Amino acid sequence: MNSRERVRKAINHQETDRIPLDLGSTLVTGIQASTYAKLRRSLGLKDKLVSIADPFQMLGEVDMEVIGKLGIDTIGLWLPTNFFGFRNENWKPWKLFDGTKVMVPEKFTTKRDDEGNIYLYPKGDMSVPPCAKMPQDGYYFDLLVRQETFDERNLNPEDWVNQQYSIFSEETLKYLEKKADELYKKTDLCIIGEFIDASFGDISMVPGPAIKNPKGIRDPVRWITAHIEYPDYIKGIFELQCEIALKNLKLSYEAVGNKIDVIMVSGTDFGTQNAPFISPDMYREFYKPFHKRINDWIHKNTPWKTFYHSCGSIALFLDDFVEVGVDILNPVQTSAKDMDPKILKERYGDKFVFWGGGVDTQRTLPFGTPEEVRREVNERCQVFGKGGGFVFNTVHNIQSKVPIENLVAMFQTIREFKF
């Protein structure tokens, strides 16, 4: 069974020869660049500069050498532009605060202040205010809120959406077509589509990190309260965003067809550690209709499985997720309230594919012993893997400063696991 066959069986709730493994196919299943450099060395691979796949979270690009060494079964098909609106091309060297040398795109333009903080600019344009800051000795960028004063009587959803979203250009579609064809023919990996903007209300997009002069409500706190203060504004944004997403889905399917098996639909977080961000009623009013429209189109017109990421305690939304047609749940934050693995598998094992939940990245992986990592990985594989419907990944991205011996223990346990 090759990787593509293995993942296809798993996402169709069939047992496989071994549990499929994902690392780096999406923005939420990756590994921070410093940790990735150490992982490469631990595998005995020749030193080389790590390319930054996502400059926001400073994720390392998982290369084919590591994919082969670890037996990873997936690979991502991403847009040519990144989170900050510039293309991942014309690479140049850069260095993280911990000394890790990496490669960043040409328009990864930064400025350092007197306190050592590093500022990054939308589309690489230093003539406008910076959109993100990496604090001195930090590992990631924090988004900067550039909220301008707005007139609540003239809030226009079109202004917000037209800055944020657009119909794919012919150039973008040709890129997706060519890249999908290349990955499909040159590998036997399961290809994950990471290119659709259907994350309604994704708080990481609210500040407009790729926009030079963002308009409308761009402060995350004001955005959340706007659901009550300006509900028509939020719904109007979602309606226009949905129309663009549906058009881009149609164009994308024409470009890549059945070469991909999974489409990343949403990265909106609905849960905190101990409770949902919003009430189930508010989810049903603002989000559920749009999730259903997107999923209905995908399921009617493609064989793709829909991938939804939401951190935190989201147990109160799971029945709604079933109703709207969510296929794959990620990151399965098992440390959050009411997210017990056994209960999730018992209640929803025939409804969702659990893509993640393999080991806790808040405590066990960064702070546990190798033996504790092995024990938790084994337990999660036993629970989630039975009967298929499980792709192994950690709970969200592997973070900085994770002990390499814990990562080695995790990958060894996955490779050796048997029911």
221 pLDDT more than 90: yes
One-letter amino acid at 385 equals G
The SS3 call for residue 76 is strand
Identify the pLDDT of residue 419.
84
Instruction: Please compute the mean of the pLDDT values over residues 330-354 and round it to a whole number.
Output: 98
CA gap 405, 172 in Å, rounded = 41
**Overall residue count recorded for the chain in this entry:** 419
Tens of pLDDT, residue by residue over 225-266, are 999 999 999 999 999 999 999 999 999 999 999 999 999 999
Burial tier of 173 (Cβ tally within 10 Å: 0-12, 13-18, 19+): middle
Q: Find out whether the peptide bond into 105 is cis, omega within 30 degrees of 0.
A: no
Contacts 24+ apart (CB under 8 A), 412-419: 412/374, 413/373, 413/374, 413/377, 413/378, 413/381, 414/19, 414/21, 414/358, 414/377, 414/381, 415/18, 415/70, 415/71, 417/18, 417/19, 417/377, 417/378, 417/381, 417/385, 419/382, 419/385, 419/386
Identify the pLDDT of residue 242.
98
Burial tier of 57 (Cβ tally within 10 Å: 0-12, 13-18, 19+): buried
Instruction: Please compute the mean of the pLDDT values over residues 64-87 and round it to a whole number.
Output: 98
Q: What is the third-level CATH fold of 3-31+72-83+147-416?
A: TIM Barrel (3.20.20)
Nearest to 44 by CA among 67, 65, 13, 72: 65
What sign for the dihedral angle of Cα 187, 196, 30, 54?
A: positive
Q: How far is CA 388 from the centre of its chain?
A: 22
Whether the CB-CB separation of 380 and 358 falls below 8 Å is answered with: yes
Beta-ladder partners of 263: 193, 306
The SS3 call for residue 61 is coil
Read off the DSSP letter of residue 152: G
Tens of pLDDT, residue by residue over 391-419, are 999 999 999 999 999 999 999 999 999 98
Q: Judge if pTM exceeds 0.85.
A: yes
